Structure 1
Amino acid sequence: MQAADISTLEAVALAATRSAAVAGHAWVGRNDQNSADAAATSAMRAALAEAPGRGTVVIGEGEKDDAPMLFNGEVVGNGHGPDFDIAVDPLEGTSFCARDLPGSLATIAFGEPGTLWSPGPGFYMDKIVVPPRAKDVVDLDDPPERTLAKVAEALGKDVADLRVVIMDKPRHKELIARVLQAGAAVQTPAGGDVGGSLAVLMPTHDIDLLLGVGGTPEGVMTAAAVRALGGGMLGRLAPQRDDEADAIRAAGMSLDRVYACDELVAGDAFFVATGVNGGPLLGRPRTADGTTITESLLISRGQIRHITHTTFD
Structure 2
Amino acid sequence: MSDSIGPSPFVVSDRNLALELVRVTEAAALASARWTGRGRKNDADGAAVEAMRIAFDTVAIDGTVVIGEGEMDEAPMLYIGEKVGSGGPAMDIAVDPLEGTNLCAKDMPNAITVVALAERGNFLHAPDVYMDKIVVGPNLPAGVVDLENTIETNLKNLAKARGKSVQDLLLCTLDRERHEEMIARARAAGARVRLLSDGDVAGGIAACLDSSQVDIYVGSGGAPEGVLTAAAVRCVEGQMQGRLLFEDDAQRARAQKMNPGKNPDRKLDLHDMAAGSVLFSATGVTTGALLRGVRQYPHQAVTHSLVMRSKSGTSRFIEGHHNFKTKTWTPQ
Query: Does TM-score exceed 0.5, indicating one fold?
Result: yes
Deviation for aligned residue 1:8: 1.9
Alignment partners' CA distance in 1, 2:181 and 2:77: 33
Whole-Å separation in 2 of the counterparts to 1:230 and 1:107: 19
SS in 2 for 1:281: coil
1:37-56 to 2 correspondences below 5 Å: 37-56=45-64
Distance change (3 Å), C-alpha of 1:241 and 1:174: farther
Aligned partners of 2:219 and 2:77: how far apart in 1?
25
**Distance in 2 separating the partners of 1:98 and 1:134:** 40
List aligned pairs for 1:1-313, cutoff 5 A.
2-62=10-70, 69-79=77-87, 81-119=88-126, 121-132=127-138, 133-240=140-247, 243-245=250-252, 247-248=254-255, 254-288=263-297, 290-300=299-309, 301-313=312-324
Cα distance change on mapping 1:88 and 1:135 into 2, 3 Å: farther
When the two structures are superposed, what TM-score results if normalisation uses the length of structure 2?
0.87
Q: Is the 8 A contact 1:122 1:237 kept in 2?
A: no
Q: CA deviation at 1:53?
A: 1.9
For residues 134 and 14 of structure 1, what CA distance do their matches in structure 2 show?
A: 32
Length, aligned pairs only: 309
**SS across alignment from 2:13:** helix
Q: Kindly report the root-mean-square deviation, in angstroms, between the aligned alpha carbons of the 2 structures.
A: 1.9
Conserved? CA contact 2:69–2:80, under 8 Å: no
Q: Which digits, 9 at most, give the CA deviation of each residue in 1:249-287, with x for residues without a partner?
A: 676653530111011111010211101122222222223
Q: Which has the larger radius of gyration?
A: 2
Letter of the 1:130 partner, please give it: V
Structure 1 range deviating more: 233-242 or 188-197? 233-242
CA contact (8 A) 1:134 1:232 kept: no
1-structure distance, mates of 2:237, 2:77: 30
| Aligned partner of residue 78 in structure 1, secondary structure | coil
The alpha carbon displacement at 1:69 in A equals 5.0
Cα 1:61–1:180 shift into 2, 3 Å: farther
Please list every run of 5 or more consecutive structure 2 residues that lacks an aligned counterpart in the other structure: 1-8, 325-332
Contact (CA 8 Å) 2:32, 2:47: kept in 1 or not?
A: yes
SS at match of 2:149: coil
State the SS of the aligned residue for 2:78. Answer: coil
* More deviation, 287-296/45-54: 287-296
Q: Retained in 2: the 8 A contact 1:62–1:68? A: no
Q: TM-score, normalised by structure 1?
A: 0.93
Contact 1:34–1:67 under 8 Å retained in 2: no
Secondary structure of the corresponding residue to residue 164 of structure 1: strand
Change (3 A) 1:250 1:110: closer
1:167 to partner: Cα distance:
0.5
Q: Pick which of 38-47 and 294-303 moved more.
A: 294-303
Q: Once the 2 structures are TM-superposed, how far is the Cα of residue 242 of structure 1 from its aligned partner?
A: 6.5
CA distance in 2, matches of 1:278, 1:188: 16
Tell me how far apart the structure 1 counterparts of residues 137 and 67 of structure 2 sit (CA, whole Å): 25
Question: CA offset at residue 90 of structure 1?
Answer: 0.4
